[in-house]
Amino acid sequence: MKLDFDQTPNTLSVTTYSKEGITLGGRLLTEPFVVKGIDILLDIVPESVGAIGPGHIELLVQLNPSLIIIGTGSTQIFIDAFVLKPALETNIGVEVMNTAAACRSFNVLVAENRAVVGVFYTL
């Protein structure tokens, strides 16, 4: 699906997502990644959603978002509250959804200039 959103120079938004990967800023990504502003970080989250632990969430909290969106792939995979505890203790919201919904939600929040961190696992 192709998405069209106005983009400010200091943020990236998802331009396309499909089974082939997710495109941000003209770059096709096929491995799990984190995006904040104009930064794409490839080394913060593990290869599978099930391997996400509290330490990974702590790294996301250090990015100072007001909200963390986690796209878990083609299906929504719930993450245990214990794992999310570092974010919840600092009053940072966490939303977990399938990746297609996460891409759309992320773009809306970026367009609203919200301090959002996106974590994306490909479809």
The confidence score (pLDDT) of residue 9 equals: 57
pLDDT along the chain (123 residues), means of 10: 55 96 96 97 96 98 98 97 97 98 98 96 94
Q: In the chain, what are the domains? A: 14-121 (3.40.1230.10)
68, amino acid identity: I
The confidence score (pLDDT) of residue 90 equals: 97
The confidence score (pLDDT) of residue 82 equals: 98
CA atoms 59, 80, 52, 18: torsion sign: negative
The confidence score (pLDDT) of residue 3 equals: 52
**CA–CA gap between residue 93 and residue 112 (Å, rounded):** 16
The end-to-end CA distance of the chain, in Å, is 12
Q: What pTM value is reported for the model?
A: 0.91
**CA–CA gap between residue 24 and residue 110 (Å, rounded):** 13
Bridge partner list, 93: 67
The confidence score (pLDDT) of residue 8 equals: 52
The confidence score (pLDDT) of residue 10 equals: 76
Antiparallel, parallel or unpaired: β 116-121 and 67-72: parallel
Q: Which string of DSSP letters, residue by residue, matches 30-57? A: -S-EEEETTEEESSSS-SSGGG--HHHH
The confidence score (pLDDT) of residue 1 equals: 56
CA 8-32-18 angle, to 5 degrees, is: 70
